[in-house]
Amino acid sequence: MNQYPLWKNLLIAVVLIFGALYALPNLYGEDPALQISSSRSAPLDEAAQTRIQETLKRTGIPFDAVEKIENGVLIRFNDTNNQLKAKDLMTEALDDGYVVALNLAPKTPDWLTSLGASPMYLGLDLRGGVHFQMLVDMDAAMRQAEERYVNDFRTLLRNEKLRYLTILRKNIGGIEVKFRSAEERDKAHEVLRKESPALEFKDSQQGDDFYLVAVINDQEQRETRRFAVQQNITALRNRVNELGVSEPIIQQQGQDRIVVQLPGVQDTVRAKEILGGTATLEFRMVDQTGNVQDAVAGSVPLGAKLYKERNGNPILLQKRVIVTGNDITHAASTIDPESGGAAVSIRLNGKAGNVMGSVTKDNVGKPMAVVFIETRVETTNVDGKPVKTRKQIEEVINVAVIRSAFSSNFQITGLDNPHEARDLALLLRAGALAAPMEIVEERTVGPSLGQENIDKGVYASIVSLIVVAIFMGLYYRVFGMVANISLAFNIVLIIAVMSLIQATLTLPGIAAIVLTMGMAVDANVLIYERIREELRNGSTPQASIHSGFERAFATIADSNITTFIAAVMLFIFGTGPVKGFAVVLIIGIVTSMFTAITVGRSIINLIYGGRKVVRLAI
């Protein structure tokens, strides 16, 4: 009686060993590090790596190691002072094609890393994190708004069969429409004024040409700027969620700035690329009527635009955009089954899917191109002072012949590597930025509560664990020691699960661990008191053990389920520290049920099961 089959004991042992293995990386700590990678999502070449090491050696900044990682190198240091000195040095020594970021690199041994084991993240209140201040380009937001009006004007005038010479956005702001006669201009004025109440119109004449100039009014400009910030905050939240960061802080500061704090972030380079990324796509048909060489010479056909492919070859595309990245509802990185290269699977919304279906149906056998558009901030020295300029990169990443009509679901190829495919899919999923942004301030954030308060929190946890263990050992004797072993395994499993899912531990999370310890002991107390009750009623020791575990299970399950529901509600509706508390509590409830009931009974079965017992040490 009271014996688990061998397979069940082995299964429990495997779970505990697995938990101990994946909790182990948290004991090794971290090194201050510098992460350098290429901004084009391509690996650093050997020459760049050699130049980095030689620069460090020449300046005498000591470093522990230089490691090759995906898409870059990681330089480890023995203290933060050398880390900060090296960052300033590398930022000056390397051009804008590289991203230099501070990092904290785990000292996890290679044998653990090869098993996929890594430490859990620590929140801003425990370890600090990364602080970014981002500047929203309001001028770009206004330019984009004016470009939308340009497209709307073309559609309205075409539908009303009103002839015009040109429609363009003026460099100083505003939209200018050119007509042959005052009569056509006046008719267009009436139509556009009626459809665009947020614009102010003004008529003018230069020689034989008649102009209509539209300017966005002050109220609409304020609304456009406000929307740009709010849309960018929404997009940043989506991107941070894709990064898997727990308890981020994303909030507006002033009229044109956004503050982003990412607790426990390890890969700050990837965070910078994703947060500041403005990549999007445009799908256009290839212009097969014009001559590419004439276009290169400066004679671009009407209705066409000259682009370059990634290999540098020029290509003519039609000006008409079929669909854009804003029409994409889902994107996922994948592998092209034909070429084996990186690809992104795309799904469009219903309206864009209909447009794509119509265009591809009418152009079977003709080539269509995918244009990759990215805004970059480049820094140049002018009179000894750094000057930042924005540059929009437009390149054709894919040209494919339409074999058959397709609509909402398809795949694009031509990407350099899987890393670029993942980043592009992430940006498309998270939504486009309403306006470009640049990181104007980057710094690491120290623990907000201070090291002394953190030490007190950890100290309180250890003391509570020791006091509980002493009480259980004295009061329940052998059974109490079994409860202590189960409690220790419970803490190990909580840490292991949090490390596996890369959850972020905060100070409220430590409080949740302490609460979970009490709940786990409470389950043992219920079981042991039930066993005592059975012994007082005259049951044999073996029958008492069996009844104690079986009959106490329903009570333990009920109490834990109600607490679990409360924790889920905290996670769904809570924010910040509340959500961090809920995450640890949910994990702790599940692991405490396992250790108190399954692990505890397994140990007691090994001690008392399968033999005649006269007296229980309880």
∠160-166-171 over CA atoms, to 5°? 125
Residue 129 lies inside a defined structural domain of this protein:
no
Nearest CA among 522, 515, 526 for reference residue 587? 515
DSSP E strands: which ranges in 55-158?
Answer: 65-69, 72-76, 98-106, 121-122, 129-136
Residues 6+ apart with CB under 8 A from 392: 373, 374, 375, 376
The CATH number for 184's domain is: 3.30.1240
Residue 18, domain CATH: 1.20.1640.10
Contacts of 437 (CB under 8 A, 6+ apart): 134, 135, 136, 137, 232, 258, 275, 276, 278
Q: Which residues of 182-198 are buried (b: 16+ CB within 10 A; e: fewer)?
A: eebbebbbeebeeebee
The enclosing domain of 42 has a CATH number of 3.30.70.260
Q: Are 110 and 90 in contact (CB under 8 A)?
A: no
Nearest to 437 by CA among 177, 264, 258: 258
Indicate if 60 and 77 belong to the same structural domain.
Answer: yes
Domain assignment present for residue 181? The answer is yes
Contact 104, 30 (CB under 8 A): yes
The upper half-sphere exposure of residue 468, i.e. CA atoms within 13 Å in the direction of its Cβ, equals 24
- Cα–Cα distance between 533 and 591 in angstroms, integer? 27
Whether 326 and 454 map to the same domain: the answer is no
The domain total for the chain is 4
With 0-12 / 13-18 / 19 or more C-beta atoms within 10 angstroms meaning exposed / middle / buried, residue 85 is middle
Residue 177 φ/ψ, nearest 5 degrees: -115, 130
What integer pLDDT is reported at residue 278 of this predicted model? 62
Helix axes 218-243, 138-159, angle to 10 degrees: 110
CB 503 within 8 A of CB 246: yes
307 near 338, Cβ under 8 Å?
no
Whether residue 356 sits in one domain with residue 465: no
Distances (CA, A) of 586 to 329, 415, 566: 32, 41, 9
- The whole-number pLDDT of residue 566 equals 92
Pairing mode of beta strands 209-216, 175-179: antiparallel
Amino acid identity of residue 438, one-letter, is: E
Q: Please tell me whether residues 85 and 199 are part of one structural domain.
A: no
Domain finish residue from 203, 221, 239: 221
What φ, ψ does residue 6 adopt, rounded to 5°?
A: -55, -40
Structure tokens given for 121: 């993240």
- Same domain (yes/no): 18, 60: no
Burial 344-375 (b: 16+ CB within 10 A, else e): bbbbbeeebbebbeebbeebeeeebbbbbbbb
Which SS3 state, helix, strand or coil, does residue 229 take? Answer: helix
Distance of alpha carbon 467 from alpha carbon 490, whole angstroms: 17
Give just the sign of the alpha carbon dihedral 147, 148, 149, 153: positive
Q: Is 449 helix (H, G, I), strand (E, B) or coil?
A: coil
Domain of 561, in residue numbers: 6-23+449-608
Domain membership flag for residue 276: no
Tokens of 176: 């200018």
Residue 243 lies in a domain: no
Whether residue 496 sits in one domain with residue 384: no
Q: Please, what is the end-to-end C-alpha distance for the chain in angstroms?
A: 19
**One domain, residues 89 and 143:** no
Helical spans, DSSP H, in 170-210: 182-195
d(CA 394, CA 282): 10
Please, what sign has the CA dihedral across residues 502, 507, 492, 589?
negative
User: Could you list the mean pLDDT of each consecutive 10-residue stretch along the chain, which spans 618 residues?
Assistant: 85 93 89 75 68 82 82 82 82 70 80 88 72 86 84 84 85 86 89 88 87 90 88 79 64 87 67 68 88 88 86 88 82 80 84 88 89 71 68 82 85 74 72 76 64 72 86 90 92 92 82 86 89 89 88 86 92 79 91 90 87 83
**Looking at residue 310, which CATH number applies to its domain?**
3.30.1360
Indicate whether 152 belongs to any domain.
Answer: yes
| Same structural domain, 323 and 348 | yes
- Helix and strand numbers (H, E) in the chain are 16, 23
Q: What is the pLDDT, as a whole number, of residue 381? A: 67
User: Is residue 122 a part of any domain in this protein?
Assistant: no
| β strands within 161-300, DSSP E | 166-169, 175-179, 199-206, 209-216, 249-253, 257-263, 280-285
Is there a domain that residue 268 lies in? no
Q: Where a domain ends, among 413, 439, 460?
A: 413
d(CA 75, CA 86): 9
Pick the closest to residue 73 from 249, 235, 269, 259 (CA basis). 269
Residue 136 to residue 442: CA distance in whole angstroms: 15
Residues 408 and 296 in one domain: yes
Is 241 within the bounds of a domain? no
| Whole-number Cα distances in Å, 616 to 478, 482, 532, 541 | 8, 13, 9, 6
In this prediction, residue 588 carries a pLDDT of: 92
Same domain, 395 and 474: no
Length of the chain: 618
pLDDT at position 418 is 79
Question: Is there a single domain that holds both residue 80 and residue 162?
Answer: no
| Domain match, 14 and 37 both | no
CA atoms of 559 and 569, how far apart (whole Å): 16
What residues does 504 pair with on adjacent strands? 121
The model carries a pTM of 0.59
| Distance separating alpha carbons of residues 467 and 251, to the nearest angstrom | 43
Structure token digits, residue 385: 């002072």
Q: Could you give the 3-state DSSP secondary structure of residue 617?
A: coil
By the 8 A CB rule, do 418 and 342 touch?
yes
